[in-house]
Amino acid sequence: MSTPEFVYKIATLAAWAPARDTAAFAGMPIDANDGYIHFSSAEQLAETLRLHFAGQSDLVLLAVRSADLGAGLVWEASRGGALFPHFYGGPLPTAAIAWESAISVASDGSCALPEAVR
């Protein structure tokens, strides 16, 4: 498997906003509980949003350069045995974030992803 250029972090605006102008983002509460930062690949995003964020409108999608995460980025089996990107390198360095976009997920779990997702 080749590593994609970007992995994606979904966060609430309330969690992300205080970190936006700092050196690092600690992630969401689930990240702290699990001991790593959860990411999705472009192909996994829609299903992750449907399963875990349905009905939420205060979200931000962070596109993170995989290469900037180094050896801390590990692909591990998760939902249905699919390999998901997890970051074990501590808080997410905000310098690794290429772009961000506000997103909303309808109550049925549908979401229009930014065109830049690839």
pLDDT digits (tens, 9 = 90+) for 18-43: 999 999 999 999 999 999 999 999 99
pLDDT digits (tens, 9 = 90+) for 43-81: 999 999 999 999 999 999 999 999 999 999 999 998 788
Give every strand in the sheet of 73-77, ordered side by side: 37-38, 83-87, 73-77
Radius of gyration of the chain measured on its C-alpha atoms: 13
Domains of the chain as residue ranges with CATH = 6-103 (3.20.170.20)
Please give the helix or strand (H or E) that residue 10 lies within, else none: strand 6-12
Q: Which of 84, 48, 86 is nearest to 69 (CA)?
A: 86
Q: Which of 86, 76, 82, 100 is nearest to 11 (CA)?
A: 100
